[in-house]
Amino acid sequence: MESTRKGFNQNSIQDMNRTLILNLLRRQNNCARTELAKMSGLKQATVTNIINDFMDWGLVKETGFLTGNKGRRSIGITIDTDLFGVIGVQVARRHHIVGLFDLLGQRVSYIRNEHAPTISPRQIMDDIYCSIANLLEKNDDRKILAIGAALPGPFSIKDGKIELMTGYTGWEEIDIRQEMESRFGLPVILENDANAAAVAQYWNDPEWYENNTLAYICAGEGVGAGILTEGKLFRGAVGTAGEIGHMSINFKGERCACGNRGCLEGYCSTIALTKEVNRILAPERNYKYSDVKRLIREGNPIAIEIFSSCCDYLSIGIVNIINAFNPSVIVIGDEMSHVVPEEMLRRIKRRVKECVVPSVYDSVTIKMSAIDGSMVCGAAIMAVQYVFDRPEKYFNTAQTGDNPD
């Protein structure tokens, strides 16, 4: 069969080599030119030219002498984190986070806003645009190159829209990508929130995850999973793969807005947990999720029992993910994972072990996320990756003041 892949011209090969060196620098943090040549397989002269360009663009800086093999000294190179940045956004049902990140994916500053229960999607997006504008204004000494946003699913990457946010209507009418791009004149990378969180895990440990299948389970105001296999996201046809929140665990259960019955999300999100605690414990007090968290940590037996049953439901979703994707590692993150992480992990492991073939269970590592704010961080990382894949366009012209778009 004839291949439909296009060839590469000289310029794109040069840019691909630059991307390779950028990614190596990002992983190694501080590295000599000779080491970069060795790791990339490029000629020493090519690496020297690339580093010269990067230094002219303000993208990297020299760090002083490194002592290498046989006591030979060479100059270290590192990515300069002061000049450029990206914006990361996380949209959730009851809050949003907007942060400024450097090119290593480290958070420089951020804004978190809670949403009033009656607020409309339109108001939430306008509020987010205000937060982005604020961050841009406060950090005008830094050149911001792109915006990455993590959105709850089912999110259609093709249309740039949230197709459904259970409990909230009107999201499907907002073209988020188009709005953000025209407001800020920056490239906008949108991703499902669990996928973005999976990318954040990978960015922090690429050597390990490159040969493995990772499933990131977000247990927050919604429930979902991001699947990464051999370093690549598994998105499916329109980007909604891993939507375990809408996997039915009870075909006679309540009808969900997605059309299915008894969706997992209705049993084990932080919203479901808060609702159940209020129903049983304190209908008149109308506890918020922060109160429920406190009750569990203080040892309230009823709150603990409801929390444990949420963990059991979540375990069913995890068992389904294990049977469908056979991941080598499962990372559990988002708000529910912060309440009593050790107890939660112990319970989930026990339940999953009961329901999975022993050899399959033995081949999977289940752990809690160690990254604070995986979703917003993953969104920012995807924006960094976008500009790293196009160094000439974003870093060269940025120095001359031209608009890269």
Interaction of residue 271 with Zn ion, rule CB under 5 A: no
Closest to Zn ion by CB, 166 or 385: 166
Q: What's the min distance (Å) between Cβ of 263 and Zn ion?
A: 3
Q: Is 132 helix (H, G, I), strand (E, B) or coil?
A: helix
- Rounded to the nearest 10°, the torsion over CA 152, 155, 160, 161 is -80
Of 98-106, 203-211, 217-225, 241-249, the window that binds Zn ion (rule: CB under 5 A) is 241-249
Interaction of residue 142 with Zn ion, rule CB under 5 A: no
Q: What are the tokens at 232? A: 């690549």
Closest to Zn ion by CB, 246 or 351: 246
Q: What's the min distance (Å) between Cβ of 97 and Zn ion?
A: 25
């699947």: which residue's tokens?
A: 227
CA 137 to each of CA 37, 175, 255: distance values in angstroms, whole numbers, following the listed order: 39, 25, 45
- Which amino acid is residue 263, in one-letter code? C
Per CB under 5 A, the list member of 37, 66, 174, 258 interacting with Zn ion is: 258
Q: What's the min distance (Å) between Cβ of 117 and Zn ion?
A: 21
Interaction of residue 246 with Zn ion, rule CB under 5 A: yes
Contacts of 3 (CB under 8 A, 6+ apart): none
Mapping DSSP onto H, E and C, the string for 282-300 reads CCCCCCCHHHHHHHHHHCC
- When CB distances to Zn ion are compared, the closest residue is 256
Interaction of residue 260 with Zn ion, rule CB under 5 A: yes
Closest to Zn ion by CB, 310 or 383: 310
Q: Is 78 helix (H, G, I), strand (E, B) or coil?
A: strand
Q: What's the min distance (Å) between Cβ of 264 and Zn ion?
A: 8
Interaction of residue 256 with Zn ion, rule CB under 5 A: yes
Closest to Zn ion by CB, 33 or 93: 93
Task: Walk across the sheet containing 223-229 and list its strands.
Answer: 232-233, 223-229, 213-219, 329-333, 365-368
Per CB under 5 A, the list member of 51, 189, 263, 377 interacting with Zn ion is: 263
Q: What are the tokens at 24? A: 């190596």
Q: What's the min distance (Å) between Cβ of 260 and Zn ion?
A: 5
Using CB under 5 A as the criterion, which residues of the chain lie in contact with Zn ion when the complex forms? 246, 256, 258, 260, 263
